[in-house]
Amino acid sequence: MNSNALADQAHQLAGNANDLAHRLDTLSSIAAPAAAAAEPFIYLLTIFLLACFVGYYVVWNVTPALHSPLMAVTNGISSVIIVGAMLATGLSHGFLPHLFGFLAVTLASVNIFGGFLVTQRMLSMFKSKR
């Protein structure tokens, strides 16, 4: 093969690649807004579903003898809803958000302290013979 033909082919290939890149560019510019809109929700949904699976397998491993402490500790951890309450209180102006935030912070705090402490009390009673 002579060098001229080779150069010709290379030129053609480069042209093709350029064309392809151009098309990809248009394609991605079409797809980008759609992806940006869907992303946060799909991302959260992914985490949610994976967490459901984690929960399923972890909870089946809980020994039945500790089902009461399990319920009490889930009370404690589900009160992480306090995060939402704190943000509503701390990042806003006006009486209503503050009032709702304060009420939710208070209720969640009852659960956080109550849930974890009563779990601790229960668990401290479980003793082995040895």
Partner 1 sequence: MSSNLTSLLYLIAAVLFILALRGLSSPVTSRRGNQYGMIGMAIAVAATLGRHGMLAEGYIWIVAGILVGGAAGAYVARSIAMTALPQLVAAFHSLVGLAAVFVAAGALNAPAAFNIGLPHHIHTQSLIEMSVGLAIGAITFSGSLIAFAKLQALMKGTPILFRFQHQLNLVLGLVILALIVVFVAQGGPQTVFWVIAVLAMALGFLLIIPIGGADMPVVVSMLNSYSGWAACGIGFTIQNLALIITGALVGASGAILSYVMCKGMNRSIFNVLLGGFGTDSGGVSGAAAGGDRTVKSGNAEDAAFIMKNASKVIIVPGYGMAVAQAQHAVREMADHLKAEGVDVRYAIHPVAGRMPGHMNVLLAEANVPYDDVFELEQINNEFSTADVAYVIGANDVTNPAAKTDTGSAIYGMPILDVEKARTVLFIKRSMASGYAGVDNELFFRPNTMMLFGDAKKMTEEVVQSLDH
What is the rounded distance in angstroms from the CA atom of residue 60 to the CA atom of residue 56? 6
Kindly tell me which of 29 and 63 has the beta carbon lying closer to partner 1: 63
Cβ at position 54, least distance to partner 1 in Å: 6
Q: How far is CA 125 from CA 8, 118, 119, in A?
A: 85, 11, 10
Cβ at position 33, least distance to partner 1 in Å: 16
Kindly tell me which of 11 and 67 has the beta carbon lying closer to partner 1: 67
- Cα 6 to its chain centre, rounded Å, is 54
Kindly tell me which of 20 and 102 has the beta carbon lying closer to partner 1: 102
Cβ at position 79, least distance to partner 1 in Å: 6
85 neighbors 108 (Cβ within 8 angstroms): yes
Cβ at position 42, least distance to partner 1 in Å: 12
Phi/psi class of residue 62: alpha, beta or left (left: φ > 0; alpha: ψ in -120 to 50)?
beta
**Site of tokens 């392809």:** 20
- One symbol per residue from 54 to 93: x for binding partner 1 (CB under 8 A), - otherwise; what is it? xxx-xxxxxxxxxxxxxxxxxxxxxxxxxxxxxxxxxxxx
Residues 103-122 that bind partner 1 (CB under 8 A): 103-122
Helices and strands of the chain, counted as H and E runs = 4, 0
Residues 32-51 that bind partner 1 (CB under 8 A): 40-41, 44, 47-49, 51
